[in-house]
Structure 1
């Protein structure tokens, strides 16, 4: 998942980006309306993003103008994350097309959940995920492939949920490390071992591998292509 964050508080932006990265959400960042417009021009369209998070009061103007002009006609859902608490500000944001509004100060976990809800990509830990003959019920912690039940460790469940959330797109090594070991230094052997164990548990015998390591991109949960 990729979002655009437009926020002029550099400290808050850094904290937000670090937290969202650990949640498997990649972030492009702009501190001003002008920077956001440059990113839009460079990327051709804001449709590149799964969601856009906007502060309202920015150094070079009000983000409502970005909503009404540059973002007009684009599909990426917008969440305002701002210190503006007045009802008129909230109504103006929704009138401009925003789908959600979060006032500062806020908890980063709440922001992450709101983004996932907004994009329709809420963690599959409460859902069923299927890939070919692989069937995973994250709420019940049951995984089956063909006629066999798959037994996974807690860390393997964490990794599988992260991969399923972004499947078939790859998840970077940095994202995996931050998600599985957020407060620990991890050597490369621990990382490789976790990937190998999950790959082995999901694919036995003649079963095609569904865990793929993509050079320079990360790890992806997807079917093997011929």
Structure 2
């Protein structure tokens, strides 16, 4: 049973990278807050209480190494560092000062999500499996089981299911889903409807309806009738 999404704080000054990483992490089921630099880091550590911090090394003001020391003083959180420099010395310095992992730019978003998940698992903060009726959505392993049988899903269907599972018992609108799963700002009802329909059909091949439509509001994943 989910006890709340793992919380990720992202500190990255490049807006395009910051937005794309935020969308990818949210789609993977994490609660995310972002900062463009380390100016408000201490306040956000106290307020948001992240389970993991993603730190860019080359930041305006205090760099990622200085911020890593701040994180270590304030929180027992995991730390994944990002850098455009691929020198061994930088990587050894980051790991030596307490980072849990180090990723060199440019990187694939899926790899970053995998690294974040792995660190959360090692630190005991990984998102547990979500149970909805006979459906088990294992966010860590990336699979869905219904009555013990695996539900075969495409990458997009998995992202959609994971997002709905993290928000189980809560109605989420089409615009929210579109932003979290596809990263689109423009509203496209048809794209969401088609994928929800396909996902619902696959789930119902294994058991009773769990993915419900709430007319005029959106969709909800729950085990009882709406």
Give the alignment's TM-score, normalised by structure 2.
0.63
Question: Structure 1 residues 75, 220: closer, same or farther in 2, change over 3 A?
Answer: farther
2:11–2:36 CA contact under 8 A, matched in 1: yes
Aligned counterparts, 1:1-226, within 5 A = 1=5, 2-41=7-46, 43=47, 47=49, 49-120=50-121, 130-135=131-136, 143-144=146-147, 159-164=160-165, 166=166, 168=168, 173-178=174-179, 187-188=188-189, 191=192, 221=221
Count matched residues. 211
- The answer to whether the 8 Å contact 2:29/2:162 transfers is no
| Mapped partners of 1:111, 1:88: distance in 2 | 21
- CA contact under 8 A between 1:5 and 1:28: conserved in structure 2? yes
Where in structure 1 do 4 or more consecutive aligned residues deviate above 6 Å?
121-124, 136-141, 149-156, 192-203
CA contact (8 A) 2:55 2:80 kept: yes
TM (normalized to structure 1)?
Answer: 0.63
2:81 is paired with a residue whose SS is strand
Cα contact 1:152–1:198 (8 A) shared by 2: no
* Higher RCO (C-alpha 8 Å, min separation 6): 2
Structure 2 residues not aligned, in runs of 5+: none
Shift of 1:10: 2.7
Q: Deviations over 1:72-106 (max 9, x none)?
A: 25132110011233333222222322111001222
Measure the CA separation in 1 of the matches of 2:126 and 2:117: 5
Is the 8 Å Cα contact of residues 8 and 31 (structure 2) preserved in structure 1? yes
Superposition deviation, residue 31 in structure 1: 1.9
Structure of higher CA gyration radius: 1
Cα deviation, residue 108, structure 1: 2.2
| Runs of 5+ consecutive residues of structure 1 not aligned to the other structure | none
Distance 1:201 1:74, change over 3 A: same
Alpha-carbon displacement from aligned partner over 1:144-172 (angstroms, at most 9, x marks no partner) = 39xxx9999867665333333x2658567
